[in-house]
């Protein structure tokens, strides 16, 4: 199947770490992605990971991939109010991006 | 380097009309994909073009069509508009041919269509 699932909402305080989770069903996915969408804007690619990797770090962002459990997570360190947005997990499958439902992250001061 | 440019950004149409949306990819990018975003269905793939050829098509009715020009610019058309076509239409471009490499897609800001 093409299902990519995410929790709908996450609320954190400024300065805390945020962890956004994603599960997928198709184990043939080669690349997995995290996109950010701010109000009224398109999708901004944050990072991506190849399926043979377990972890990827890029400044405040850490991606963890558990291929056995088909679980992907995005950790944002030192979360700021500017990080408030909707975060989409996506996998590359059938010659297209298959997106999750999106997680709305709210960062309070 | 200019990003992906979509026009118009906002438009309002009535049922039964048709609409054309335009997308200019990043210079040098030859692949253009289109996605529809709605609150109910989320992000759904419409179609993808590479070198003026449609390479892949999503599960949408024939009222949705597209094309790509020799300069890689792309247009999508929706005919006989329905209320359910109200959505944000996102265009994305990529350098590589889909299926090769990391498939890094850069999205535009979208065209928000409202059908009354």
- Residues B5-38 pLDDT 10s: 999 999 999 999 999 999 999 999 999 999 999 9
Residue B82: is its pLDDT beyond 70? yes
Query: What is the pLDDT of chain B when averaged over all its residues?
Result: 94
Residues from chain B that touch A94, judged by Cβ atoms under 8 A, are 56
Q: What is the pLDDT of residue B1?
A: 66
pLDDT in tens, A53-105: 899 999 999 999 999 999 999 999 999 999 999 999 999 887 889 999 999 99
In a 3-state reduction of DSSP, which class is residue B83? Answer: helix
Residue B43 near chain A (CB below 8 Å): yes
Rounded distance between C-alpha atoms, residue A21 and residue A5, angstroms: 9
A2 touches chain B (CB under 8 A): no
Q: Do A96 and B33 touch (CB under 8 A)?
A: yes
* B101 pLDDT higher than 80: no
pLDDT at A1: 43
Q: Determine the pLDDT at residue B36.
A: 98
Question: What whole-number distance in Å separates Cα of residue B113 and Cα of residue B34?
Answer: 14
Determine phi and psi for B28, rounding to 5 degrees: 95, -15
- If you count residue pairs, one on A and one on B, with CB atoms under 8 Å apart, how many are there? 51
Quote the minimal CA–CA distance from B78 to chain A in Å. Answer: 20
Report how far residue B63's alpha carbon sits from residue B78's, in angstroms, rounded to the nearest whole number.
5
Q: What is the mean pLDDT of residues B93-109?
A: 82
B58/B46 Cα distance (integer angstroms): 5
- Yes or no, beta carbons of B102 and A97 under 8 Å apart: no
**B109 at A interface, C-beta within 8 A:** yes
pLDDT at B70: 95
Burial A75-91 (b: 16+ CB within 10 A, else e): bbeebeeebbbbbbbbb
> What's the confidence (pLDDT) of residue A3?
85
pLDDT score, position A95: 82
pLDDT in tens, B42-65: 999 999 999 999 999 999 999 999
Q: Return the pLDDT at A30.
A: 81
Q: In whole angstroms, how large is the CA radius of gyration of chain B?
A: 13
For residue B43, how far is the Cα from the chain centroid?
Answer: 12
A43 contact residues in B (CB cutoff 8 A) = 90, 92, 107
* pLDDT computed for residue A2 by the predictor: 58
Nearby residues of A90 by Cβ (< 8 Å), 6 or more positions away: A4, A32, A33, A34, A35, A97, A98, A99, A100, B43
Average pLDDT over residues B80-109: 88
Q: Has residue B102 got a pLDDT over 80?
A: no
Give yes or no for a contact between A63 and A55, defined as CB atoms under 8 angstroms apart: yes
**What tens digit of pLDDT does each residue of A14-65 get?**
999 999 999 998 878 789 999 999 998 899 999 999 988 899 999 999 999 9
Task: Tell whether A48 lies on the interface with B, counting CB pairs under 8 A.
Answer: yes
Does any CB of chain A come closer than 8 Å to the CB of residue B106?
yes
**Does residue A3 sit at the B interface (CB-CB below 8 Å)?**
no
């Amino acid at each position: 199947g093409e299902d990519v699932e995410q929790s709908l909402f996450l609320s954190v305080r400024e300065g805390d770490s945020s962890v956004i989770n994603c599960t997928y069903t198709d184990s043939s996915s080669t690349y997995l992605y995290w996109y950010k969408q701010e109000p009224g804007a398109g999708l901004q690619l944050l990072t991506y990971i190849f399926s043979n990797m377990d972890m990827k770090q890029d400044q405040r962002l850490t991606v963890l991939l558990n291929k056995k459990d088909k679980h992907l997570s995005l950790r944002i360190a030192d979360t700021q109010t500017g990080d408030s947005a909707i975060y989409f997990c996506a996998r590359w499958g059938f010659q297209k991006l298959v997106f999750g439902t999106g997680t709305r992250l709210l960062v309070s001061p | 380097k200019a990003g992906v440019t979509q026009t118009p950004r906002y438009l309002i149409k009535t049922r039964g009309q048709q609409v054309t949306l335009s997308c200019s990819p990043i210079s040098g990018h030859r692949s253009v994909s289109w996605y529809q975003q709605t609150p109910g269905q989320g992000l759904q793939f419409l179609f993808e073009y590479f070198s003026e050829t449609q390479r892949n098509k999503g599960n949408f009715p024939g009222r949705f069509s597209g094309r790509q020009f020799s300069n890689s610019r792309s247009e999508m058309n929706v005919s006989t508009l329905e209320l359910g076509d109200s959505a944000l239409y996102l265009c994305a471009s990529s350098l590589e041919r889909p299926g090769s490499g990391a498939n890094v897609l850069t999205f535009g800001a979208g065209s928000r269509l409202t059908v009354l």
